[in-house]
Amino acid sequence: MKLKGKVALITGAGRAIGRSHALRLARLGADIVVNDINLVSYKEFDEQIGGASVVEEVKALGVRAVGIEADVGKKTEVEAMVQQALAEFGQIDILINNAGGLAGEVMASQASTVSEEDLRATFDRNLMGTIFCCQAVAPAMKEQKWGRIVNTTSQAGMQSQAWGIYASYGAAKAGVINYTKYLATELGPFGINVNCIAPAYVNTKRLQVKVYQAMPGVLDQTLAQIPLGRLAEPDDISKAVEFFVTDLGDYVTGQCLSVCGGAIKFS
C-alpha cells in the first residue's frame, strides 16, 4: 500500500470527484481528512454513495478518517481545519485542493457581464481557497521535509469556452495554474512537490443537473469535442492524482496535467 502511514487532506470531498479522490487514496493506505462545506453534500444532487457519508465509506476501507466542515474561501476556517487535522493525526502529507465550482448561473458567467457577487464567490471557491489551503499546510510539510500538493484547475482555465461562458471560473482556474508554478518553485527545496490537474468534462450528478438537463443538446455538442468519445468518470481524475502523490510522480513538480480525453488541443 503505497500511501500507508500518510495523511491526505482532500477539500470538497463530500461527493463526486472529491469523494473519488478520498476513496482511491484510502485504498492506497492513506488516512483521510474529508473536507466539505457540507459533509453530506452528495444529497444535494441525489448522488448515490456506499454509506451515510464519505467519512464512513473511507473508514470501511480500513483506514482512519475524520470529516471537517469548512468553507475553503475563508482563511480562518481553513486554518482551523488544518489545526484540527494536525491535532487528530499529527501530520498532513498530502493536500488535494478539489473544492471549487462556478458561482451563479452558467449563462450569466460571461466576461463582460458577470456580476461582482458571482465573480468574487467564484474566485473565493477556486483560487483563494486553493491559496489558503496551501498556505495553511505548508509549515507542517516544510518541517517534515516532505509533501505532495495537487491543485485543481480546469479546461476552462486553459482555453476559452463556447459562447464566452465560464469566464469567471476560467479566470480563477488560470490563476490556480500560475499559483501552482510559483509554489512549486518555492517549496521544491523542502521536498514538497506541487502540481495541478485540469479536468474537462466529468460525469458528475451536478453537471448532469446544472448543465446537460438544463441545456438540451449540449451533451451531444460536448461529446463531439472529445476524441475519446465519452465524459470522464470521477475515478479517471483520481488516477491522475494517484500519479502525483505516489512514488510515480517523485520527479514531477510545477506541472499541469490535462485530463480531458483529448478535448484540450495544444499547438
pLDDT digits (tens, 9 = 90+) for 184-233: 999 999 999 999 999 998 999 887 877 777 778 878 888 998 999 999 99
Grid coordinates standing for 71? Answer: 468553507
Partner residues linked to 7 by β-bridges: 31
For residue 212, is it within any domain? no
- List of the chain residues with pLDDT < 50: 267
For residue 222, is it within any domain? no
pLDDT value for 267: 45
pLDDT value for 266: 63
pLDDT value for 220: 87
On whether the CB atoms of residues 10 and 2 are closer than 8 A, the answer is no
The CATH number covering residue 88 comes to: 3.40.50.720
CA distance 142 to 122: 29
Number of structural domains (the chain) is 1
For residue 82, is it within any domain? yes
pLDDT value for 205: 84
CA distance 222 to 119: 25
For residue 220, is it within any domain? no
For residue 90, the tally of other CB atoms under 10 A from its CB is: 9
CA distance 164 to 250: 38
Secondary structure class of 170 (helix, strand, coil): helix
> What phi and psi, each to the nearest 5 degrees, are found at residue 190?
-100, 10
CA distance 15 to 159: 26
pLDDT value for 183: 99
pLDDT value for 213: 74
Grid coordinates standing for 4? Answer: 500507508
pLDDT value for 217: 83
For residue 216, is it within any domain? no
In single-letter form, the type of residue at position 258 comes to S
Give catalytic residues, as residue numbers: 169
For residue 227, is it within any domain? no
CA distance 90 to 26: 18
CA distance 231 to 164: 21
Beta strands at 147-152 and 256-259: parallel, antiparallel or unpaired? unpaired
pLDDT value for 24: 98
For residue 226, is it within any domain? no
Could you list the residue range(s) of the whole structural domain that residue 51 is in?
7-200+233-259
What's this model's pTM, rounded to 2 decimal places? 0.95
